[in-house]
Amino acid sequence: MNIFSGLEQIVKTDIALANYTWYGVGGNADYLITPNTVEQLTDVVKRCSENSIPLRVIGEGSNLLVSDEGVKGAVIKLEGDIFGKARFEEQTVWAPAGVNLSKLVLECVRKGLGGLEALTGIPGSIGGAVRMNAGGKFGDIGAAVESVMLMDNEGSIYERAKPGLVFDYRTTNITANIILEAKLQLVESDPDQLLKTTKEIWIYKKNSQPLTNKNAGCVFKNPRALSAGAMIDRAGLKNLKIGGAEVSDKHANFIITHEGCTAADILRLIETVQQRVKESCDIELEMEIEVW
């Protein structure tokens, strides 16, 4: 019997995940599932649990490296009106997990809602951004999140809110596999000033990051009070290449890819950078990107 019998319209088999990540590398998933409703998602989660099928969630794939071997089990992608469209009520925004972060930032700026402009230039979905507390030198998303709706491995839905919901540097205490929605509390602001701030942040990032090359953002977390990029640069690793992967000469904490690059190339380059920084700075760099 087909495990996903009756759900054929939303289930694809043996799908290349390289088409769903910013790096554009990696193997296939056994199943790629795109639910149209919360009920369908609940059904899928329950069937995966009952049949011991590993379950993962993919957003925009902007902070993800998929191995060349691919992944076993099911990969869920939340999109469409139910999972990809934000709702506004005065200064409160309910943002489902599939909402595109960059588009939401601009929408809030146009509406005169401040609090997300610090995330300008950060790609990804709301679900991924909340889980890793996406941000940078200008701030992070956790400051605006009031609560989240989650789904556990049995398909049960529940809410977590501050102060029980904790955000730290590139991490949260969310353990649920699926983030359904984030409630954001923003502040009424001058749209023109917000737009000016957004442009300034974008120009800064354009000048300091390799935005025109394939990459997955910062590869390593910054050690406390230190810059991972500066340490990689100090170790003389800018432009270091392994296969089709290269340490960016514009920002050393970015790994860019060239034609023919494989996930194995990127992983070998990551390991080499970690080893060389350990030797030169006695610091063990922790990865910021997720590896499947």
pLDDT digits 0-9 by tens, 135-156: 988 899 999 999 999 999 999 9
CATH 3.30.56.10 fits 8-77, yes or no: no
Class of domain 82-196+200-206: alpha beta
pLDDT score, position 208: 86
- The residue length of the chain stands at 292
- Fold category of 210-291 in CATH: 3.90.78
Q: Where are the beta strands (DSSP E) in 107-190?
A: 113-114, 135-136, 139-140, 145-151, 157-161, 167-168, 171-172, 178-185, 187-188
**Number of neighbours of residue 274 by Cβ within 10 angstroms:** 18
pLDDT tens, 45-82? 999 999 999 999 999 999 999 999 999 999 999 999 89
pLDDT score, position 63: 93
Locate CATH 3.30.465.10 in the chain: 82-196+200-206
Q: Which pTM value belongs to this model? A: 0.90
Task: With CA atoms as reference, report the closest residue to 76 among 43, 102, 104.
Answer: 43
Could you tell me which residues come within 8 angstroms of residue 87 by beta carbon, excluding any fewer than 6 positions away? 93, 94
Locate CATH 3.90.78.10 in the chain: 210-291
Locate CATH 3.30.43.10 in the chain: 8-77
Identify the segments of the chain with pLDDT beneath 70. 1
